[in-house]
Structure 1
Amino acid sequence: MSKVRFGIIGIGNMGSGHAQSLIAGKVRGAELTAVCDEFESKREWARTRLSGVEIFEDSASMIDSGLVDAVIVATPHYAHPDEAIRAFNKGMHVLIEKPAGVYVKQVREMNEAAAASDKKFGIVYNQRMNPLYRKLRELIASGELGEIRRTNWIITNWYRSQAYYDSGSWRATWAGEGGGVLINQCPHNLDLWQWTTGLMPVRIRAFCAFGKNRNIEVEDDVTAYAEYANGATGVFITTTGEAPGTNRLEVAGDRGKIVIEDGKLTFWRLRESERAFNERNKEAFGAPECWKVEVPVHGESTEHVGIIQNFTDAILNGTQLVAPGEEGIHGLMISNAMHLSTWLDDWVELPLDEALHEAELNKRIAESTTSKAQAQAEAKPADLTGTF
């Protein structure tokens, strides 16, 4: 195979952006040969914008056409696992948009289908291409920071007005999106929280406020506390109703503290480990020597195109995936746990009780103000809904 022939399932929101990147030749070794969408308005958009690309009404017809080797799943959230499983069963390589799904059970089934195939499976966690977070991951993995003791991420620069939510009746509904800021804006942050540190919480206590700042039925303000197996703790704070917002990630370890804010990575590096200092220190107010280091971070973040390029290279050359699709379950499990903790008003242990979470989610879907059909119908090509 000299080129990967891509088909895109869903050409609303992100699907249209991926289509235009492929048509423009931004991904080496890749070509867009087909797209599909069940809504005529979206197919009409494709006819006017995607010259030379075959257009289908459904994914099954597109896959069976023999025109594609790999698919990008860019449908509304709930359909990601179903479409991925269908594609794996037909021998396709699969790249899914974030989030991996809405609830862990369906994502686990998708991962099992991927494992049973011999095909590549990726997820569009484009922030893994950001050199800031890649450097943080490198510093932690190399032991420069020592054992992690605390993380704190204040990510409140996701401001969304009421006009944003009013632009589609499916937005910020349990049936339409399956959640609010955690499932729509924060999947990248939740992924990076565990990917950079290499830690998954063992239990979470969260406080999600539903419709606190906006007239919506899902969460728009969250404060969560996490505990880890090694004794470390973490705090995650997010909202769509705060202006101006903050994006500040702190990771404290035995050998210092790293802060990412305003596009910079700063390392307050201890000359010796805190533990070693404490064992030898005899001064009542002694403290370990600390050096402030502005860590140089080189390169630009290649974002979505970078992820598709890496996925293409994995198919053609066996390149290691930056964002394996199977890893989408981790960030989703954290957000599911935050929802469940709030619903139960209690701590939630991880791995998650998947059946209990699904049952609680279904209660809210039954009372939702919209439907999954509405969600799909209203996500228009130029909308870019679900991007952040």
Structure 2
Amino acid sequence: MKTLRIGFIGCGNIAHGHALRLSRLDGVHIAALADPVQGGRQALKQKFSLNGAEEYDDYADMLKNGELDAVLICSPHTMHFRHARQSLEAGMHVLIEKPMTCSSKEAEELIACAAGHGKVLQVSFQRHFLPPFMYIRSAIADGVIGKLTSVTAALHQDWKRAQEGTWRQRPELSGGGMLMDSGSHIIDVLLWTTGLTPTQLSVQLECHGAPVEVDTLTAIRFAEGAVGSMNVIGLAPLSKLKEAYAFIGERGGIFYDNGSVTLHLNGQEPIEPALPEAVTDPDRSFVDAIRGKHEVVVPGEYALKVVRFTEEIYASAGYHVSAPETGAARREA
């Protein structure tokens, strides 16, 4: 088995989870680290004993000199497109952190680029690999609760305070606020588990004095007939995030609350259903897709739906994140 040589673009906190998972795989070598911050590279290198990994200030030098098979994109959101496109053009497979890009146009270009170069393009939506969400998707698809009539999703997080002063609240790097950041996971769950198609939106959005939006409350009408709501709240006095969903169908409902799943069928006592086992993760599945063991689990074509829905929410609220040179966000009157 050929050893896969993998490079990182971006060595911040999210890169550590990827490095941990990759370190458990046979035939995988983290060969290069690119990040303009030396401390970030060094922290990742020391934590995972990546003594042989080459270090680069400039990712372009890594792509040119690294002799890599694949690249993980862990950079700020607005850089994803450029970093991923150049990696694909350099002949490398790409695993990209969420959100895939900050615009559907960029997402479509990346999909075409990957196809044109015959490379794997996967997006790291972790919930596709977690047993509670795997169960919810399967149960809905199997008709356990009947045809969906409503879906509600909510995320509460101390995001405004926790991310103050970081790149996540700089529009030129983040591409948006909490909806673009943590909210990507909520949109992902809403679309992936249900298969529903949003058609009509009504949005309330609030920045609370931050340079980007913090709270987003969205009412949704789906093409399939269901109604829904999605509240992504970044001004909350919580030490840990709170994530909750309710999937209601004609025969009952499935409720999720921070990892706990309850099935409540009409006229029956609620139960905690048996959950499937986790058999892979974003990084293992990426490596297996490169080796031809299975199809890409979270392809760009799917991640495009998340990007497009995010755009539609912002557009419905009249909210615009400016171009990088201005570094500000605005909302139309």
Q: Which residue of 2 aligns with 1:178?
A: 175
Which of 194, 207, 226 aligns to 1:210? It is 207
- Alignment of 1:362 onto 2:316: no
Moved more, 1-10 or 228-237: 1-10
Q: Contact 1:256–1:269 at 8 Å: present in 2 too?
A: yes
CA distance in structure 1 between the aligned counterparts of 2:82 and 2:19, rounded to whole angstroms: 21
Q: Alpha-carbon deviations, 1:181-229, whole Å to 9, x = none?
A: 1111121111111000011201211111112xxx412111111011111
Distance 1:166 1:60, change over 3 A: closer
Following superposition, the deviation at residue 268 of structure 1 comes to 1.9
The aligned amino acid for 1:361 is V
After superposition, residues 307-386 of structure 1 pair within 5 angstroms as: 307-343=282-318, 360-362=320-322, 366=326, 368=328
Secondary structure, aligned partner of 1:71: strand
Secondary structure, aligned partner of 2:185: helix
Distance 1:365 1:135, change over 3 A: farther
Q: Which runs of 4+ in 1 moved over 6 A?
A: none
Q: Which residue of 2 aligns with 1:142?
A: 142
- Alignment of 1:233 onto 2:227: yes
Give the fraction of aligned pairs with identical amino acids, expressed as a percent: 27
Q: Which residue of 1 aligns with 2:128?
A: 128
CA distance in structure 1 between the aligned counterparts of 2:325 and 2:252, rounded to whole angstroms: 45
The aligned amino acid for 1:176 is L
- Alignment of 1:3 onto 2:3: yes
The aligned amino acid for 1:207 is Q
CA distance in structure 2 between the aligned counterparts of 1:315 and 1:80, rounded to whole angstroms: 20
CA distance in structure 2 between the aligned counterparts of 1:229 and 1:161, rounded to whole angstroms: 33
Higher relative CO (Cα under 8 Å, sequence separation at least 6) belongs to 1
CA distance in structure 1 between the aligned counterparts of 2:284 and 2:163, rounded to whole angstroms: 33
After superposition, residues 4-23 of structure 1 pair within 5 angstroms as: 4-19=4-19, 21-22=21-22
Q: Which residue of 1 aligns with 2:253?
A: 257
Q: Alpha-carbon deviations, 1:132-176, whole Å to 9, x = none?
A: 0000000111222222111011221x22363x23443x3413223
CA distance in structure 2 between the aligned counterparts of 1:47 and 1:253, rounded to whole angstroms: 49
The aligned amino acid for 1:57 is D
CA distance in structure 1 between the aligned counterparts of 2:258 and 2:37, rounded to whole angstroms: 41
Which of 244, 247, 255 aligns to 1:248? It is 244
Q: Which residue of 2 aligns with 1:222?
A: 216
Aligned residues: 325
Q: Which residue of 2 aligns with 1:56?
A: 56
After superposition, residues 297-316 of structure 1 pair within 5 angstroms as: 297-299=275-277, 306-316=281-291
The aligned amino acid for 1:159 is D
Unaligned stretches of 5+ residues in structure 2? none
CA distance in structure 1 between the aligned counterparts of 2:232 and 2:95, rounded to whole angstroms: 27
Structure number with higher strand proportion: 2
Q: Which residue of 2 aligns with 1:160?
A: 159
Q: Alpha-carbon deviations, 1:105-143, whole Å to 9, x = none?
A: 211211121222211111111111110000000011122
CA RMSD of aligned residues (A): 2.5
Name the larger-Rg structure: 1
Distance 1:254 1:310, change over 3 A: same
Following superposition, the deviation at residue 325 of structure 1 comes to 3.0
Distance 1:79 1:258, change over 3 A: same
Following superposition, the deviation at residue 20 of structure 1 comes to 5.0
Q: Which residue of 1 aligns with 2:274?
A: 296
Following superposition, the deviation at residue 18 of structure 1 comes to 2.7
Following superposition, the deviation at residue 66 of structure 1 comes to 5.4
- Alignment of 1:37 onto 2:15: no
Distance 1:232 1:368, change over 3 A: same
The aligned amino acid for 1:292 is P
CA distance in structure 2 between the aligned counterparts of 1:77 and 1:152, rounded to whole angstroms: 26
Following superposition, the deviation at residue 254 of structure 1 comes to 2.1
Q: Contact 1:122–1:326 at 8 Å: present in 2 too?
A: no
